[in-house]
Structure 1
Amino acid sequence: MARTLTKKREQRELTVAGRRLDLRADCERCFGLCCVVPAFSASVDFAINKPAGQACPNLQANFRCGIHTRLRQQGFRGCTVYDCFGAGQKVSQVTFGGRDWRQAPQSAKQMFAVFPVMRDLHELLWYLSEALTLQPAHPLHQELNLALEETERLTHNSPDALISLDVAAHRQEINNLLLRASELVRAEFKHKKKELRGADLIGAKLRGSDLRGANLRGAYLIGADLRDADLRLADLIGADFRDADLRGANLTESIFLIQSQLDSAKGNSETRLPASLTHPTHW
């Protein structure tokens, strides 16, 4: 029986890993949507102002960034921490069948409106996929699978249907389910857990803190000192780690941590991460 359960778990993890490959950005198959759709203002993250729907001047005719390898040096740090979760290629190649907005300018407005909706749906798919790997959340796996299948179905809707979708309502429904999964996982840590959801921890001195099993959903950890902190089993969904110091921190079993959160933080080779994430090149 134990061998059967282990095999099923391994098969499930392989299935989830396969799904996640589609939730990673593939810029070769995208029409530079992240370089066009969002607006940004001149700041520490962006060197210039750019209105929504206007191509960044660094976007080339082949939809590649002309300064991709020098973004941070050129003042475009914000670009290096953006993750579309594969929504760019989905909109480009599936929703619009490979017709780009330059060759078919009449589709541009609609394509640009669809992109943020698809990005939200793909982010939810990422979190749902992770939740399905969490063994303590097993009692919810059937609900999680149904939610994942429904969200995936929505990503194949027509452009008009995607634009009219109430993403906020769908996100709230999924978030409630993810929170239940989080509670089951964090219950594995038997001691008192810190409730810091949405907390203002900007610049907080948390070096060496025991944050195991903490609820840090949506917490503001901008510039916080988290050196050598223990964040195992902590729920980090939506936590803002911009310029947070994660050197030596242990995030190995943290849940709902994504690559862009790490990309916005500071760390080093001693920062321990979940297997699905990587040390940013600028650390």
Structure 2
Amino acid sequence: MSGPAIRLPAAPAGQVSAAIGENEGKPRRTAANGARLAAGAHTLSPKHRAPTTDSRKPSVADGGRKDLRADCANCFGLCCVALPFARSADFAVDKNAGQPCSNLEADFRCGIHTRLREKGFPGCTAYDCFGAGQKVSHVTFDGRDWRQEPDSARRMFAVFPLMRQLHELLWYITEALGHPSARPAHQDLRKALGRIEELSRGSAESLLELDVAALRGDVNVLLLQASERIRATVPGRKKNHRGADLIGAGLAGADLRGANLRGALLIAADLSAADLRTADLIGADMRDADLSGADLTGSIFLTQAQVNAAKGDTATRLPPALGRPAHWH
């Protein structure tokens, strides 16, 4: 099956919106609106080399997504500065876009990295830039940070959220390419992967001219095709909760194999011991969802940010590309 061509009409600088998951684009208190993931525990050094992203060559260990993971040691603290956040259960204070977080130190480290949750910043632990921070810092701006070159700050901060969206798309596409059952869609997915990777290495000016919303919409069609083929491998009738309001829902022990949960609101839902194998979770809001004992192995398009925002325990089973959050018990 052939998907649509990837179109990129010009758009006003900084235009962003989302088409991946029905819930995206709605007001949310998540860390997707602000602060950075577990700001790095290492200082930056002039000796650090720029990341060498090539997502088209997947490795067995991580499915080819090594460079789509946050590398805070090679980032200029961009999510601590570029993004806004509002005082809420996720963030202890208000912060405007372009304003450095008060916890950001001179070496771009987070001063409360190991105490973010207890200090009222759980949203920071749930944020993931998909490696956009180091790409903008060392590829787009060639290692020139916003403190040394203040004139570059506005452009750098505007590019960062756009790059994050491109890297998120690269993450999803790379995952889809790892599923043999989605092989009929692989050719179009590879073309999209190559094109987005090329765009991500463009200049700041070219990135700011992208219509990322249109790009996401086109890629979403391809990802949906892949999802349908992957979920079709699960026998029987599958549940369709696409975009559903399942806030606080009692789904303990539910058989959700192959379910469509794209964009579903699963905030504080009880998914303990639920079977979520091969379920499509793209764009699902999983804040405070109880995943204790749940099986998410083989789930489709699940991200580290979603996992970090949820609750789990030692019995929770995750896909091999994702890690168990430190705050899970």
Scaled by the length of structure 1, the TM-score of the pair is: 0.94
| Equivalent in the alignment of 1:200 | 245
Matched, 1:38 2:83: yes
* Compared CA separation, residues 19 and 12, structure 1 to 2 (3 A): closer
Q: Is the 8 A contact 2:85 2:94 kept in 1?
A: yes
Matched, 1:236 2:281: yes
| Equivalent in the alignment of 2:10 | none
* Compared CA separation, residues 100 and 18, structure 1 to 2 (3 A): farther
Matched, 1:156 2:201: yes
| Equivalent in the alignment of 1:273 | 318
State the identity %: 64
Matched, 1:171 2:216: yes
Output one character per residue of 1:148-170: Cα deviation in whole Å (capped at 9) or x when no partner. Answer: 00010010111111011000000
Q: Distance in 1 between matches of 2:63 and 2:253?
A: 36
| Equivalent in the alignment of 1:7 | none
Q: Distance in 1 between matches of 2:62 and 2:290?
A: 29
| Equivalent in the alignment of 1:26 | 71
Matched, 1:71 2:116: yes
Scaled by the length of structure 2, the TM-score of the pair is: 0.81
Q: Distance in 1 between matches of 2:60 and 2:155?
A: 33
Q: Is the 8 A contact 2:254 2:273 kept in 1?
A: yes
Matched, 1:99 2:131: no
1:19, CA displacement in angstroms?
3.6
Amino acid at match of 1:156: R
- More helix per residue: 1 or 2? 1
Q: 1:181 aligns with which of 216, 226, 239?
A: 226
Q: Is the 8 A contact 1:82 1:260 kept in 2?
A: yes
Amino acid at match of 1:177: L
Matched, 1:141 2:186: yes
Q: Is the 8 A contact 2:62 2:321 kept in 1?
A: no
| Equivalent in the alignment of 1:8 | none
Q: Distance in 2 between matches of 1:52 and 1:25?
A: 20
- Runs of 4+ aligned residues of structure 1 deviating over 4 Å after TM superposition are none
| Equivalent in the alignment of 1:85 | 130
Output one character per residue of 1:123-179: Cα deviation in whole Å (capped at 9) or x when no partner. Answer: 000000100101100111111111100010010111111011000000000011000
Output one character per residue of 1:47-76: Cα deviation in whole Å (capped at 9) or x when no partner. Answer: 001011100000000011000010001000
List runs of 5+ in structure 2 lacking aligned partners.
1-55
Of structures 1 and 2, the one scoring higher in RCO (CA 8 A, sep 6+) is 2
Aligned CA-pair RMSD = 1.3
Output one character per residue of 1:213-234: Cα deviation in whole Å (capped at 9) or x when no partner. Answer: 1100010000000011111110
Amino acid at match of 1:197: R
| Equivalent in the alignment of 2:262 | 217
Output one character per residue of 1:238-264: Cα deviation in whole Å (capped at 9) or x when no partner. Answer: 111100000011111111001110100
Amino acid at match of 1:194: K
Q: Distance in 2 between matches of 1:165 and 1:57?
A: 32
The count of residues paired between Structure 1 and Structure 2 equals 273
| Equivalent in the alignment of 1:3 | none
Q: Is the 8 A contact 1:87 1:115 kept in 2?
A: yes
Amino acid at match of 2:246: L
Matched, 1:125 2:193: no
Secondary structure of residue in 2 paired with 1:22: helix
Q: Distance in 2 between matches of 1:132 and 1:88?
A: 24
Q: Distance in 2 between matches of 1:216 and 1:118?
A: 26
Secondary structure of residue in 2 paired with 1:268: coil
1:188, CA displacement in angstroms?
0.5
